[in-house]
Structure 1
Amino acid sequence: MLRTRTWIRRLAPLALPALWGAVAVLWKLTCPIAQQEGTAARIATSVVFFTVGTGLVLGLRCGLVKELKQVRAVAQAAQLVLLRPPPPRLDGLSLAAAQLSAARGAAVGGDLYEAVGTPHGVRIVIGDVRGHGLPALGAVAAVLGSFREAAHDEPELGGVLRRLERALGRHLRERARDEHPASGGWDPDSPSAEEFVTVLLLEIRRDGTVLALNCGHPWPYLLGGAGAEPVPAGEPLPPLGAFPLPDELPVHRCVTLPPGGALFLHTDGAEDARDASGRFFRLRDVLDQAVRGAPVHPAALIHRVHSALLRHTGGRLTDDVALMVVRNDRCRVPAQSGDPGPCRTRPAPSPR
């Protein structure tokens, strides 16, 4: 019964063109005018069949457009579940994020981000899968799915990173088996030597301390009233999937985020974007102009960088771009317990 209804629904747009076609054939066979010779009869016949043909094309088009809209709605819902927007506020932090996909018609691509509140602090991941567009979604799903579980379960940031590595490894092995069924189901020694993911893991604690583990990803910018400064940190690890993680993971205590201070996270598609003449997008200059002497508003800053990036490239991106802003809206700890003091958001001091 369900299959019958499905077929009826699919064939419904063809009902009117089919009726028109039957009328045209009947007219040709039975109407005396259609059986006459001469210019007038030919013109009348042509008009009838042209009308029938137009109706048939329009009927097919309406059906295809309706089905395409349904497919797009389902795809958009699935993409939003995969790369859901972060909450505007999370444990005293204000957040905003956006992604630009290089694949036309796709809401997500090879970049990923997520922020979750945990007993260990707010943990954030941002990453970039090698390649872009829809083919990279499998690795994005593997890394994000693992992070959403590990961020709550693992007490140390290094444990989260190792869970991401294992999840990515499983995904690559499964994909290699699917692409090479002749392997007999055995896991290849190197499932995909050219597949890797750059990852930046952050943990923002209640006192504003920011811990970081970086696997080949661009470091964020620290934003304040004096402008944008790169976060001072050490040498990053290789990207996930390129080499095994070392036994000791260097967790960097890279910065303390003061009340009102913000971090700008991005993937390399932002700074590598070029215009028609080959000039790179000057991300730091855009951030400086946006925040110098003014408070940082995460959503407004994301919109400004997003618009500047599209203007610079003329809307023609060659790589996916992910952007995220995290602002500390927590109150400054009072000097004396008896004086709670006002809870205000102040611009961050100039980073040194």
Structure 2
Amino acid sequence: MICKRPPSSEAALFGMPVAVMVVVALVDVVAGPGVGLLPLVSLGPAFSSLVGGWRFTALIGAVALLLCVGLGLYDDLFEGRRGFTAMISVAGVTGAGIVAALMRSRREAELASVRSIAEVAQRVLLRPVPLTAGALQATVSYTSAVAEARIGGDLYEVVASPYGTRVIVGDVQGKGLAAVETAAVVLAAFREAAHDEPDLIGLGERLERSVARELEGEKFVTAVLAQIGSSHETVFLNYGHPAPMLVRRDGSADFPEPPSYAPPLGLGVEGAGGPEPYSVSFLPGEQLLLYTDGVTEARDGDGHFYPLAERVHLLKDADANCALQALREDLAQHAGGPPHDDAAMLLLRYQGHGQGTSAPGG
């Protein structure tokens, strides 16, 4: 299923240079030669260098020169200097626009190269989650707070292990490359231990040891671990992370809290007990959303946090990807701009054996 997207404004941007020249020409014809608007035809190639390549800029520049000649002859401006001055202005702006377009294209090529490297790093660090894991359907959304970045300090993973489907969603303290390095450590440890450890407590202890070896000072990682087996329940282990949202078949939302919150990974006191596992029912037709605090702590212009519990209806779409995309777009609209923190969301749908993919609560 293809999710609906807002119409693109690319065509409008490419039409802007032509529209500007048409407006200048009409005003010049109506107002007459005394107003002296002819040099403004150069706005066409000036704008074209901002939205198109050098060929597009040269084409618009050629059209602008022809228009300049036509209007100059119509207004009898070539009997003096005004017509030639306008043509020189258009030619100069066109030349400068071509140079600017070439430089912009070079920068875009360099940025594309950097992005391709970032995409490879993302595939290594944050691999695409499996579309299905047993009776579960999974989809993920990730928005980095760093401009032009594809990855950050949030992490997620879904592993189909001999002991059930195991999931982690976490948030590394801080941003940038240091946070990415820490996320890589946690994910590597989780991917290995998820297949080896027979229970969730042992898995959590492996993660705690790995993080303690790598982190320095008071850095930490909040995380929630989940294990979904065949007993229609989910077992959680929470290291100071926001409680997951469980969407029931009737569309209501629960936020199962742990008996007591344990310190984040990296801040555990030696000799002290870790977090207590707790279980909740998770039935076919229900949904589980694990997320980072970049979601619930996103503020609008009035300083109000994002009301996740009030947006459960956005997850009714029969297509899980479209449902999560709708939630992501609503979050961006609430924040009214780029996020101030990384925001990761992992949606799991319990389809059940032999069941269809109809959305819960629909």
TM-score by length of 1: 0.70
1:310, distance to aligned residue in structure 2 (A)? 0.3
Matched, 1:302 2:324: yes
1:245, distance to aligned residue in structure 2 (A)? 6.0
Name the residue aligned to 1:280.
Answer: 305
Residues 207 and 316 of structure 1, relative CA distance in 2, 3 Å threshold: same
The code of the aligned residue for 2:266 comes to G
Matched, 1:322 2:344: yes
Percent identical among aligned pairs is: 36
After TM superposition, the structure 1 = structure 2 runs for residues 188-203 of structure 1, keeping only pairs within 5 Å, are 191-193=216-218, 195-203=219-227
Residues 168 and 296 of structure 1, relative CA distance in 2, 3 Å threshold: farther
Name the residue aligned to 1:147.
Answer: 190
Query: How far apart, in 2, do the equivalents of 1:250 and 1:296 lie?
Result: 35
The number of residues matched between the two structures is 275
- Map Cα deviations across residues 86-111 of structure 1 (whole Å, 9 max, x no partner): 11111111111111111111111111
State which drifts further: 56-65 or 112-121: 56-65
Query: How far apart, in 1, do the equivalents of 2:132 and 2:157 lie?
Result: 13
The code of the aligned residue for 1:202 comes to A
Q: 1:110, 1:137 within 8 Å by CA — same for their partners in 2?
A: yes
Query: How far apart, in 1, do the equivalents of 2:186 and 2:268 lie?
Result: 16
- Map Cα deviations across residues 262-287 of structure 1 (whole Å, 9 max, x no partner): 11111111111101221111111011
Matched, 1:129 2:150: no
- Map Cα deviations across residues 195-232 of structure 1 (whole Å, 9 max, x no partner): 10001011111122211111000111110233211125
Q: 1:115, 1:122 within 8 Å by CA — same for their partners in 2?
A: yes
Query: How far apart, in 1, do the equivalents of 2:339 and 2:97 lie?
Result: 38
After TM superposition, the structure 1 = structure 2 runs for residues 81-92 of structure 1, keeping only pairs within 5 Å, are 81-92=124-135
The code of the aligned residue for 2:143 comes to L
Query: How far apart, in 2, do the equivalents of 1:245 and 1:260 lie?
Result: 41
Residues 274 and 61 of structure 1, relative CA distance in 2, 3 Å threshold: closer
Name the residue aligned to 1:219.
Answer: 243
- From 255, 260, 268, the equivalent of 2:280 is 255
The code of the aligned residue for 1:192 comes to G
After TM superposition, the structure 1 = structure 2 runs for residues 25-174 of structure 1, keeping only pairs within 5 Å, are 62-172=105-215
The code of the aligned residue for 1:261 comes to E
Q: 1:258, 1:328 within 8 Å by CA — same for their partners in 2?
A: yes
What SS class does the counterpart of residue 324 from structure 2 fall into? helix
Name the residue aligned to 1:267.
Answer: 292
The code of the aligned residue for 2:214 comes to H
State which drifts further: 77-86 or 294-303: 294-303
- From 230, 234, 243, the equivalent of 1:210 is 234
Query: How far apart, in 2, do the equivalents of 1:312 and 1:347 lie?
Result: 24
Q: 1:93, 1:328 within 8 Å by CA — same for their partners in 2?
A: yes
Q: 1:262, 1:296 within 8 Å by CA — same for their partners in 2?
A: no
The answer for unaligned runs of 5 or more in structure 1 is 1-42, 173-190, 332-341
The code of the aligned residue for 1:253 comes to Y
Residues 278 and 116 of structure 1, relative CA distance in 2, 3 Å threshold: same
Residues 157 and 345 of structure 1, relative CA distance in 2, 3 Å threshold: same
What SS class does the counterpart of residue 122 from structure 1 fall into? strand
TM-score by length of 2: 0.68
Query: How far apart, in 2, do the equivalents of 1:129 and 1:296 lie?
Result: 32
- Map Cα deviations across residues 100-123 of structure 1 (whole Å, 9 max, x no partner): 111111111111100000000000
Name the residue aligned to 1:27.
Answer: none
Query: How far apart, in 2, do the equivalents of 1:270 and 1:51 lie?
Result: 46
The answer for unaligned runs of 5 or more in structure 2 is 1-84, 86-90
